[in-house]
Amino acid sequence: MSAYERQTLTRRIALGLGAFTVAAAIFATFPASTNAAEEAVVIPAPAIDETAATDTGKAVFAGGCFWGVQGVFQHVKGVRNAVSGYSGGTSETATYEAVSGGNTAHAEAVEITYDPKQVTYGQLLQIFFSVAHNPTQLNFQGPDHGTQYRSEIFTTSAEQAKIAGSYIAQLEKEKLFEEPIVTKVSGMTAFYPAEDYHQDFLTQNPTHPYIVYNDMPKIENLKAVFPSEFSARPALVQKAKG
């Protein structure tokens, strides 16, 4: 790992530590049975969903730091692989060092490879909006600020674009969120996998302060809100490579 990578990871750790320290002081006053995780927004499934009978589907979502988004979808049944990476910019700037500057047009994103016979694109969208991130936060998620942390769906087909756009309209009409949804829907031009040290980060670092405070609650929410879709065994990138 380069000096820059260590520096940026240290910064993210510091953000997590600051929030974690405050939260720990508050939660210490609660009964042991109190759940410290934020509640997910319980939402209905999309009114329309994919119809193509394919063996493999691809979905690309951006919703803040890719550590947590990857971790959520790795625990979804039917997901074969979920890779952290960058989408929205060019290959020349698809590095953590460049993307962290916020001027590359890239978003931290996750490419999900899934079995449509076990989980549909619409179900993945439902999880994305419900527990993976907050779709009402413009160009930030939690402690992470910048356009690289924006909420965006990168579609790989006209059908995906129709499903995603229709679902956002459905959720807005039903006023299920306190603020307007700011998620963008864009056609995907390319996805670039992130550096190896970012892959499977949540699973490999479950006690990391940033992960504990910002991301482990998402896994608990997935288990609680989508019990039939939850997989206790994550689909890890390193296993897929092996």
Q: Is 65 noted as a catalytic residue in this protein?
A: yes
Helix, coil or strand: residue 144? strand
195 HSE (CA, 13 A, CB side): 14
Count Cβ neighbours within 10 Å for each residue of 40-61 and write b for 16 or more, e otherwise. Answer: bbebeebeebbeeeeeebbbbb
Tokens representing 57 are 């589907």
Start-to-end Cα distance in the chain: 22
Contact 45, 122 (CB under 8 A): yes
User: Within the chain, what is the greatest distance between any pair of CA atoms?
Assistant: 52
In the chain, beta strands by DSSP E: 57-63, 79-87, 107-114, 140-141, 144-145, 151-155, 184-187, 191-193
Tell me how long the chain is. 242
Count Cβ neighbours within 10 Å for each residue of 10-39 and write b for 16 or more, e otherwise. Answer: eebbebbeebbeeeeeeeeeeeeeeeeeee
Residue tagged active-site, from 65, 76, 82, 131? 65
Helix, coil or strand: residue 200? coil
Residue numbers annotated as active site: 65
